[in-house]
Structure 1
Amino acid sequence: MENPFPRSTSVADRIRLLMNVVGQNDVLAIIMNADPDAMASAMALKRIFWRRVRKINIYHTNIIKRDDNLAMINLLKLDQRHIRKMNPEEVTKFALVDSQPSHGELLSKYEYDIVIDHHPFIAQSKAMFMDIKEEYGATSTILTEYLRAAGIKPSPRLATALFYGIKTDTDNFTRESTQNDINAFRYLFQFVNTNNIKKIESSELTRKTLESYKKAMGNCIFIKDRVFIPMGVVDNPDTLVMIADFFIKMADVTWSVAAGISGKKLIIIFRNAGFRYDAGKLANRLFGEYGSAGGHKSAARAEVPLANLEKDVPDGVDFAQFIIAKLRSI
């Protein structure tokens, strides 16, 4: 199918069609870019196909370094591995959760049988089964609805993962969300291990993250109601996410933009607390010609190969000045 389901398609119909995509002799690879929502969604999809396929493995394309994400993996005993450990020749069916193929170079290498996501639909996305609900706050909500439609009661471990996935991706329902997200959140609560939620959330702040915040406070640049935080070279792009999330909490800030270089890419994270602009559309307008850029109204991301900036950012010119010039045009 080349387009997501029409709104009129019931969850019961979707889960029935999903079950028909794989068979008992299939080896299913569930691929994701690991964050709480993606990891929970992959875990739920694996549970849905439990005992229905020959083998299921979960693979992540990114290197996981955030302490809260590592705590989630350890506390909930998530069984997943890096995609470089996957042998594609052994896989008969591919699934992608919380992303679409064009969201990353590693993601685009495979032809997917299943795509389930809540990010804005990209026309090039194709799969035998594709459910993209861009109005939802989290992919975990979609998978929770699938579980309920299939009559599967989530274990405390799975419920805790899905609950935390919704909690983080909606930023405690301060970002775009729907009644469906709230309903899923309330349903999961009865099964959740709240002590594990507390432990995961308390793992976010470490000495290393404090050093990042200290650097950000020294580097931040204010442009009217916008704050730009250039972080230079970063070990982990997730650092930029934490920094952008931190600065958007300021009372007089409508836009928080954190940027840094990771590997051979310039990563730019957008957070928007206002109603006038759409962060995803703005990210695409400012940086779409250079690389991948997009997201939701209040949260977006751009990933630009440095080689694509050679014309506009010649040697000797700071990337920060290039981004500032873009931000002044808002």
Structure 2
Amino acid sequence: MHPAQELEELLADGEELTIVCHNNPDPDCLASAFALGRIAMAAGIDEHHILYSGDISHQQNRAFVNLLDIDLKPFDPAAVQDRPEGSLLAFVDHAVPGANNRVPEGTPVDIVIDHHPNEGIEARFIDHREQVGATATILTEYVRELATEMDAALGTALLFAIRRETLGFLRGVTSAEYDAAGWLHEHADGALLRTLSTPSITGATVDAIAEAITNRTVRGSVLISGIGRTSERDALPQAADYLATLEGVETAIVFGIVEDGVQLSARSTDSRIHIGNVLDGAFSDVGSAGGHREMAGGEVPLGIFADYTTDDTQLFAIVDQVMTARLVAELNLTTEAETRTKADGEDE
């Protein structure tokens, strides 16, 4: 039986569906949740909710939610822990309670659909495919298999998510993404896709990216940069994407203080490095981190850092030293030559 049919049978026995996005959801997670909600409605579930925690701060993500009119609700623990009988709980684009989500560890999950590396996944229905480039690819397969009613909003959401997750079919892409995109092309709104691809950017995001450029440190082909405190969490992956294109750089890691934690974003084209494993090895004992071979992220609670000082400049000096030291040690860069670019453009 095709996984889509197994999922449909499970949904047909449910009365309500709660779909939980991972923290700070991206288009792949949002589009997958959107599609799963449509599949659930077709299977006879009248009520479903899409919950998220963290922020939707990236300008593309905000435009994505607003223009496609995706109905999101802030995460409510009671909606997960006090569900009535017949209510199903689903994870899309993440897999384990407590890992990149606010669902308490040990919470029973009914449905998991994900493409990220993970272990210890437990659910009544699991479709975990590390080999595909996007969770939206899996949901597109379901929509096709089940002949789910399509419209421009759903088609655009899934196609944009696949394009964004694979960086325009250049990162982690497989033949499944091309096949899904070819089919979705007939259902998507081209003008809306262009609008989503070129959203306006805030001044705070520009400032954060500029800070990452100024503070970059290069050891061999590895670039590490800390940007201090920022309100623009999604400036970190944008900065990592940009810095990874610098000549001679194969791995770029950017971190900064966002609210009460240190957020990280990393990119790598070095075949010797699995950047998800690098972040996991460096920070799994103090936070949560991981991801794919070429793209990863993480979060470390400020915790003890914040006990030293309330001054952001002094606080980040401590954070910068500790985070960089852990990354250097995990990447075995201690003997590599270092070039630090200062604000005045001089190297030391």
TM-score by length of structure 1 reads 0.89
Aligned to 1:27: 16
User: 1:105 offset after TM fit, Å?
Assistant: 4.7
- Secondary structure of the residue aligned to 2:248 is coil
| 8 Å contact kept, 2:305–2:318 | no
2-structure distance, mates of 1:277, 1:87: 40
Q: Which residue of 1 aligns with 2:113?
A: 116
* 2:17/2:40 contact within 8 Å kept: no
Taking the TM superposition and a 5 Å limit, the aligned residue runs for 1:24-63 are: 26-33=15-22, 34-51=25-42, 52-63=44-55
CA distance in 1 between partners of 2:275 and 2:139 (Å): 26
Contact 1:27 1:90 in 2 (8 A): no
Q: Secondary structure at the match of 1:135?
A: coil
Q: 1:303 offset after TM fit, Å? A: 1.6
Change (3 A) 1:117 1:204: farther
- Greater mean deviation of Cα atoms: 98-107 or 58-67: 98-107
Q: For residues 249 and 189 of structure 1, do their structure 2 counterparts lie closer, same or farther at Cα, with a shift above 3 Å needed?
A: same
Question: Equivalences for 1:184-199 in 2 at 5 Å?
Answer: 184-199=180-195
RMSD in angstroms over aligned alpha carbons? Answer: 2.3
Task: Tell me how far apart the structure 2 counterparts of residues 62 and 111 of structure 1 sit (CA, whole Å).
Answer: 22
**1:1-330 matched pairs, under 5 angstroms:** 13-23=2-12, 26-33=15-22, 34-51=25-42, 52-84=44-76, 87-88=79-80, 89-90=82-83, 92-101=87-96, 102-108=98-104, 110-123=107-120, 125-307=121-303, 318-329=318-329, 330=331
Q: Aligned partners of 1:41, 1:120: CA distance in 2, in Å?
A: 17
> Quick check: 1:30–1:58 contact (8 Å CA) kept in 2?
yes
Amino acid at match of 1:18: L
CA 107–164 in structure 1, closer or farther in 2 if over 3 Å, else same:
farther
Return 5+ residue gaps in structure 2 as ranges.
Answer: 308-313, 332-348
- Give the Cα separation in 2 of the matches to 1:105 and 1:191: 31
- Percent identical across equivalent pairs? 28
| Structure 1: runs of 5+ lacking an equivalent | 1-11
With the length of structure 2 as denominator, give the TM-score of the two structures: 0.84
Indicate if the aligned counterparts of 2:244 and 2:268 stay in contact, CA closer than 8 A: yes
Q: Deviations over 1:27-47 (max 9, x none)?
A: 111110221001100111011
In structure 2, distance between residues paired with 1:225 and 1:25 = 51
Please give the alpha-carbon distance, in whole angstroms, between the structure 1 residues aligned to 2:14 and 2:91.
20
Deviations 1:5-64 (A, max 9, x none): xxxxxxx52112111223465111111022100110011101111141131111112221
CA positional deviation for 1:326: 2.8
Count of aligned pairs: 316
Partner Cα distance (1:54, 1:196) in 2: 28
Between 156-165 and 216-225, report the one with greater CA deviation.
216-225
Distance in 1, matches of 2:164 and 2:109, equals: 26
User: Residue 133 of structure 2 aligns to which amino acid in structure 1?
Assistant: G
